[in-house]
Amino acid sequence: MTRNLLICAAFDLSGGSPGEAWFDSCWPRMRDTLLLGSAGDIHEGRVLKAAIALREDKLPSREPPKVSRHLFEPGAGNYHTFVLGRIFDSDDLARKLGCAKSSSEAGIYASAFERWGEDCDWHLTGEYAAIQWWPEERRLRLARSPLRAPPLHVWREGSKLIVGSVPRTIFAAGIDPVIDQERMAEFALFFRDHPEESLFRGLSRVACGTNRSISPDSDQANRFWDIRSIPRWTPRSDEEALEAVMVAFQRAARANLADVSDPAISLSGGLDSQISASFLLESMKPDQRLRSYTSVPVAEWLPPEDHSLVYDESDRVRELAAIYPALEPTFVSAGDRTFGEGLDALLLLGSWPTYNEMNMHWVHEIYRQAGRDGARVIFNADLGDAGISFDGCAALAEWAVRGDWGRFLREIGSLQDGRSFLRKAGSLGLRPHVPAKLQDQADRFRGHYTSPFESWCPLDPRHPEVQKALERAAATGRSASIHPPSSVALAREQMIAPTVSEGAEFNQAMRLLHGVETRDLTAFRPLFELVVSLPPHYFLHDGETRWLARRIAEGRVPSSVSTSQSTGIQSADFPDRIARDAAQVRDFVVQDVPRGSAAELIDRARITAYLDRHVAGSGVGSHRWQKLVCALPRGAALARFAQHVEGFNVG
C-alpha cells in the first residue's frame, strides 16, 4: 500500500455553477510544485468545486515522476477523504472498524470518522494529516495528529481556498510570498505560542493536535490535544510504572518497524537515543541489522577539555554495539562539508527556514550516507528530553508552590549541582515563580544579566518588528531571556514546542532532499502520554535526575550511559569549523540588503563582528561560545531565508 507524502488542493467555496473554477488557469503551476524532490508519482483529479493532487511517498524510479489523472470517488457520506502520512496499527483498526484489511489510510480515516465523528482523532494513533471535502456543503475539514504530522499550509481569500504541504504551492497560484517579519522575529526568539501562524503574510497553518473546519461563512479551529490535558496516573509501585513504560516502548518500536526493511538510527551516547536503539534492536526480525550513524567532531577543532562534558560520543556507541551484535555503527565527522551546504536546497524544497544550522553539516551527512546505504527510514529521539529522559528539575518549583515541603527539601538537599542548599532552594524552587521582567531586573542589579541580543539571539532589538514580538511576549509574562519554568507541564511544553511547531517542515524537506524519512519512538503518542502522565518524582528521585530513563536503561545500554552525569555537546568543533567557513557565512549574512527586507531583522554588523573577533578555543557555554554556535549560524540561516524568499543576492 502506497502512502501519500504531499498534497496540493484548491477549493471554490462559492455557490456558483459547477463549471469553471477560479483556479483553472493556475492549477497546472500549482500541481507542478509537487514535482520537486525525491518522491513518487503524482495523481491528480477534479471533484466538484475542487482540484486535488497527491504525490506518493516512495522513491522515484530512474524515470522522472509521472503525473496521471485519477478519479477520486466520494465515500459513503458523499464526501472525499485524503490522508498524508501514516496511521499506526492499521490492520487492527480496519478489523475494528469493519473495513477491508488492505484499506488505505484514507479509507481507515473515513471509517473512523463515520464511527466517531469529530472525536475520531482521539481514537487514532499515527503521524498523519487528513483533508476532507464535502462538495455539496462546500465544507472542508483539516486535521493533524498530535506531536508529529505532515504540515498543512492554508491560504484563503473570500471563496478561494488553497491547502498545500509546502507554501510554494500557494505562491504558484499568484500569491506574493511576503515574510511576516514579526512572526520571523518570534521564530528567532523561540517563541512558539502560536503554531497555527505562518511565517508568510496571508497564510496560516493547521497546528499539531488540531482540526479545522472551513465553510463559506466560518473558519473554526479546535485543539483536540494538549500536553497539559493529559491526566495524571499514579502507579501502585515503581515496578508497575517501569513495566508499563517498557511495554509502551516495545509497542512503539513494533509499530514503527512494521513497514521498514532496512532501519537506521541517528545515534548518540545519550540516554533516550541509546534506549530507543535497544528497543528497536529487540523488536527487529532476526535477519535484520540496525545501521547507526553518529556524529564525531574533528579532533583538531575541539575546545579545551572539560570532564563534565562529552565532545565525542563514539566510545559509548561502540559499547552499545558490543552488547547488540545487530548494531552496525558508522561514524560521521563531515569535516569536508562547509557551513550552509544544503541550506539552499532545503529552502527550495520546504519554503521554510532551519532553526539549528550549527548541526546541519553532520545531519546532512548522516542522511546522505544512510540513503546511500539503502536506508529509507532513520530514527532519532527528538522528544526524549521532554518524555522518557525528562530530568524532573522543574518539579522543584511545582512542589514549592504546592507546599509539598517534605519532598521539596529532601530533593533540594540531595541534588548535587555545586551550589549551597539555600541557593538551590531559591533558584530552583522560588525564582521560577517570579515574573520574567523582575527576574531580568534582579539579574541586572546583581551584575549577572547578559542580554540575549549580546549572546545567543541574532536579531537587532532596535528593529520595530522585533520590538513588537517582544511586546507580544511581555503581554503573556515572557521575556527574551531564558528562565527556569515554574511547572513540569510548562517545562515540557517549552521543550517540545520547536519540534512540534517547526519540525514537520524540516523533516519533510529532508525527506525530499535525501529520500530518507525521519521517525521518533519517543514521539509515539501512547508512549509519550504515558510518560507525561507519571508523577514528577519518577524523574527526579532522591537527587537523581532522569530517574525513569536510568532505571529503564539498566541492563539495556552500557553503564557508562545509564549512570553518566556528564553532558554531551553536539558540534563541539563548530567554532573552529566556522572560522574556516567565514567567507561562506559572510555571503549568507549579506551586508547590503533592500530597504524593508526581512534580512534587516538580523543584526548583520554584530554577526560579522563575531567572525572578526573569533578566537579559537572558546569555552563551552561561555558568552563567546553562544555567539559562535547560536547567534551566528541562526542569523546567517535566517538571512539566507530572507534572500531566498525576497529574491536578492541568491545564486
Which SS3 state, helix, strand or coil, does residue 544 take? Answer: strand
Tell me phi and psi for residue 326, to 5 degrees: -75, -5
User: Do 244 and 362 fall into the same domain?
Assistant: yes
Q: pLDDT tens across 223-282, in order?
A: 999 999 999 999 999 999 999 999 999 999 999 999 999 999 999 999 999 999 999 999
User: Rg of the Cα trace of the chain?
Assistant: 25
Total domains present in the chain: 3
User: Do 236 and 219 fall into the same domain?
Assistant: no
- Is it the case that residue 615 has pLDDT exceeding 60? no
Nearest CA among 599, 637, 576, 645 for reference residue 340: 637
pLDDT at 651: 46
User: Do 202 and 171 fall into the same domain?
Assistant: yes
* Chosen domain end from 568, 601, 619: 568
As a whole number, mean pLDDT of residues 193-205 equals 96
User: Do 145 and 84 fall into the same domain?
Assistant: yes
Tell me phi and psi for residue 126, to 5 degrees: 180, -175
CATH code (residue 53): 3.60.20.10
As a whole number, mean pLDDT of residues 594-619 equals 82
Q: pLDDT tens across 622-649, in order?
A: 667 788 888 999 999 999 999 999 986 5
Share of the chain above pLDDT 70, in %: 97
Tell me phi and psi for residue 27, to 5 degrees: -55, -45
Residue with cell 551484535: 325
User: Do 101 and 193 fall into the same domain?
Assistant: yes
- Is it the case that residue 617 has pLDDT exceeding 60? no
The answer to whether position 359 is within a domain reads: yes
The answer to whether position 187 is within a domain reads: yes
* Chosen domain end from 568, 597, 618: 568
The answer to whether position 452 is within a domain reads: no
Which SS3 state, helix, strand or coil, does residue 483 take? Answer: coil
The answer to whether position 14 is within a domain reads: yes
Nearest CA among 2, 1, 37 for reference residue 511: 37
Q: Which grid coordinates are listed for 5?
A: 507524502
Nearest CA among 224, 233, 322 for reference residue 533: 233
- Is it the case that residue 295 has pLDDT exceeding 50? yes
Question: How do 263-266 and 160-164 pair as beta strands?
Answer: unpaired
Q: pLDDT tens across 125-148, in order?
A: 999 999 999 999 999 999 999 999
User: Do 196 and 257 fall into the same domain?
Assistant: no
User: Do 218 and 113 fall into the same domain?
Assistant: yes
What contacts 59, CB < 8 A, 6 or more positions away?
A: 38, 39, 40, 376, 515
Q: pLDDT tens across 374-422, in order?
A: 999 999 999 999 999 999 999 999 999 999 999 999 999 999 888 999 9
The answer to whether position 414 is within a domain reads: no
Q: How confident is the model at residue 182 (pLDDT cuts 50, 70, 90)?
A: very high
User: Do 204 and 285 fall into the same domain?
Assistant: no
The answer to whether position 406 is within a domain reads: no
User: Do 246 and 363 fall into the same domain?
Assistant: yes
The answer to whether position 354 is within a domain reads: yes
User: Do 90 and 137 fall into the same domain?
Assistant: yes
Q: What is the largest CA-CA distance in the chain?
A: 76
* Chosen domain end from 208, 225, 242: 225
Q: pLDDT tens across 573-589, in order?
A: 888 888 889 888 888 88
User: Do 238 and 172 fall into the same domain?
Assistant: no
Are 21 and 12 spatial neighbours (Cβ–Cβ below 8 Å)? yes
Average pLDDT, the chain: 93
As a whole number, mean pLDDT of residues 300-309 equals 85
Range of the domain at 286: 229-389+493-568
The answer to whether position 346 is within a domain reads: yes
Looking at per-residue pLDDT, the higher value among 533 and 193 belongs to 533
The 3-state secondary structure of 164-178, one letter per residue = ECCHHHHHCCCCCCC
User: Do 207 and 327 fall into the same domain?
Assistant: no
Are 40 and 2 spatial neighbours (Cβ–Cβ below 8 Å)? yes
- The model carries a pTM of 0.95
Element (H, E) at 644: helix 632-646
What contacts 209, CB < 8 A, 6 or more positions away?
A: 144, 145, 146, 147, 223, 224, 225, 226
pLDDT at 613: 77
CATH code (residue 521): 3.40.50.620
pLDDT at 233: 97
